[in-house]
């Protein structure tokens, strides 16, 4: 193998496209070139996917890596999110001018806009769901308990809150809209959860005024749901 001046730049470059920022990715040619005897291991693994010496040897020999375990956001250029962009035409590859407006590829998958790992995507949460974290909190966390298998377990319930819009449209008609829980972010460092509600509205609603309400009491949410039901009953079919 030729000797390369380390200041002259790399002669090979490879990344784990599914997790460029993580630890544990390594190729056999790099191990040989650097005469490595130790490699940083992944810090997070799936419970059913052990990462031991045998697993590392299998990865080095076959090039087949276990799927990265992630609890963060997938970057826009990471796989498998990047593959959802679809086939980009030649004009897009060359770059658009300031006056042009690019359109999405014909086979664009709108799942691209979801940056959560696939195993952490779910249907819209409604509030009241039970969430359990296993070995994802410090052992001395005040709310942690030791489970049957000796794991540290932390349970919580998603708050039954709602964010809604009270829109006043042309004709002074009230058009209430319920927002959906788009993202649940669990922040173990600050012992908090962040909930994002989102809604998409058509541009031809002719909204005159819009008021955002955060409902925290069951009776408030029940009254709003009754309002939505009454509006749906009056809508033309």
Q: Poorest-confidence range of 4-18, 54-68, 78-92?
A: 4-18
In this structure, the answer to whether residues 89 and 16 fall within a common structural domain is: no
Asked if residue 176 is part of any domain, the answer here is: yes
**Residue 163 or residue 42, greater confidence:** 163
Q: Which of 62, 88, 106 is the last residue of a domain?
A: 62
**Residue 217 or residue 13, greater confidence:** 217
Residue 84 region by backbone torsions, left for phi larger than 0, else alpha for psi between -120 and 50, else beta: alpha
What's the pLDDT score for residue 98? 58
Structural domain of residue 56, as residue ranges?
6-62
Residue 129 — φ and ψ, nearest 5°? -70, 145
What's the pLDDT score for residue 91? 53
In this structure, the answer to whether residues 188 and 220 fall within a common structural domain is: yes
Q: What is the pLDDT of residues 179-201, one digit of tens each?
A: 999 999 998 888 899 999 999 98
What's the pLDDT score for residue 68? 82
Q: Three-state secondary structure along the chain?
A: CCCCCHHHCCCCCCCCCCCCCCCCCCCHHHHHHHCCCCCCCCCCCCCCCCCCHHHHHHHHHHCCCCCCCCCCCCCCCCCCCHHHHCCCCHHHHHCCCCCCCCCCCCCCCHHHHCCCCHHHCCCCECCCCEEEEECCCCCCCCCCEECCCCCEEEEEECCCCEEEEEEEECCCEEEEEECEEEEEEEECCCCEEEEEEECCCCHHHCEEEEEEEEECCHHHHHHHHHHHHHHHHHCCC
In this structure, the answer to whether residues 53 and 83 fall within a common structural domain is: no
In this structure, the answer to whether residues 179 and 159 fall within a common structural domain is: yes
Asked if residue 67 is part of any domain, the answer here is: no
Asked if residue 70 is part of any domain, the answer here is: no
In this structure, the answer to whether residues 163 and 189 fall within a common structural domain is: yes
Asked if residue 13 is part of any domain, the answer here is: yes
Asked if residue 228 is part of any domain, the answer here is: yes
Asked if residue 89 is part of any domain, the answer here is: yes
- What's the rounded Cα separation, in Å, for the pair 102 and 50? 44
Q: Of 25, 115, 122, which Cα lies nearest the Cα of 77?
A: 115
Q: Which of 62, 86, 109 is the last residue of a domain?
A: 62
Q: Which of 39, 62, 85 is the last residue of a domain?
A: 62
In this structure, the answer to whether residues 171 and 132 fall within a common structural domain is: yes
Q: What is the pLDDT of residues 93-142, one digit of tens each?
A: 556 665 666 778 889 999 999 999 998 999 999 999 999 998 888 888 88
Instruction: Copy the structure tokens of residue 104.
Output: 């999405």
In this structure, the answer to whether residues 106 and 47 fall within a common structural domain is: no
In this structure, the answer to whether residues 171 and 225 fall within a common structural domain is: yes
Contact 39, 26 (CB under 8 A): yes
Q: Is the confidence at residue 168, as pLDDT, over 80?
A: yes
Asked if residue 68 is part of any domain, the answer here is: no
Contact 52, 66 (CB under 8 A): no
- What's the rounded Cα separation, in Å, for the pair 157 and 128? 6
Q: What is the pLDDT of residues 221-234, one digit of tens each?
A: 999 999 999 888 87
Q: Is the confidence at residue 3, as pLDDT, over 70?
A: no
In this structure, the answer to whether residues 138 and 204 fall within a common structural domain is: yes
In this structure, the answer to whether residues 179 and 191 fall within a common structural domain is: yes
Asked if residue 217 is part of any domain, the answer here is: yes
Mean pLDDT (whole number) for 204-215 = 90
pTM: 0.74
What's the pLDDT score for residue 7? 58
In this structure, the answer to whether residues 110 and 196 fall within a common structural domain is: no
Q: How many domains does the chain have?
A: 3
Contact 41, 51 (CB under 8 A): yes
In this structure, the answer to whether residues 144 and 181 fall within a common structural domain is: yes
In the block, which residue shows the tokens 């826009």? Answer: 76
């Amino acid at each position: 193998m030729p000797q390369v001046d380390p200041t002259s730049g790399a002669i090979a470059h490879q990344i784990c496209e599914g997790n460029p920022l993580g630890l544990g990715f390594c190729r056999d040619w790099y191990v040989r070139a650097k005469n490595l005897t130790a490699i940083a291991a992944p810090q997070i693994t799936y419970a059913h996917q052990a990462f031991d010496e045998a697993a590392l040897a299998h990865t080095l020999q076959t090039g087949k890596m276990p799927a990265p375990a992630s609890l963060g956001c997938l970057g826009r250029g990471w796989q498998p999110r990047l593959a959802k962009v679809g086939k980009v035409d030649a004009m897009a590859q060359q770059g658009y001018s300031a006056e042009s407006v690019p359109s999405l590829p014909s086979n664009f998958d709108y799942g691209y806009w979801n940056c959560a790992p696939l195993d952490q995507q779910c249907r819209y949460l409604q509030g009241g769901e039970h969430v359990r974290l296993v070995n994802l909190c410090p052992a001395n966390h005040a709310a942690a308990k030791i489970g049957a298998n000796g794991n540290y377990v932390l349970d919580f319930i998603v708050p039954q809150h709602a964010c809604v819009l009270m829109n006043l449209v042309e004709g002074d008609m009230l058009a209430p809209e319920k927002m959906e829980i788009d993202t649940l972010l669990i922040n173990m460092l600050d012992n908090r959860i962040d909930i994002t509600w989102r809604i998409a509205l058509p541009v031809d609603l002719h909204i005159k005024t819009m008021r955002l309400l955060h409902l925290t009491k069951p009776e408030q949410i029940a009254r709003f749901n009754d309002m939505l039901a009454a509006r749906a009953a009056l809508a033309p079919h």
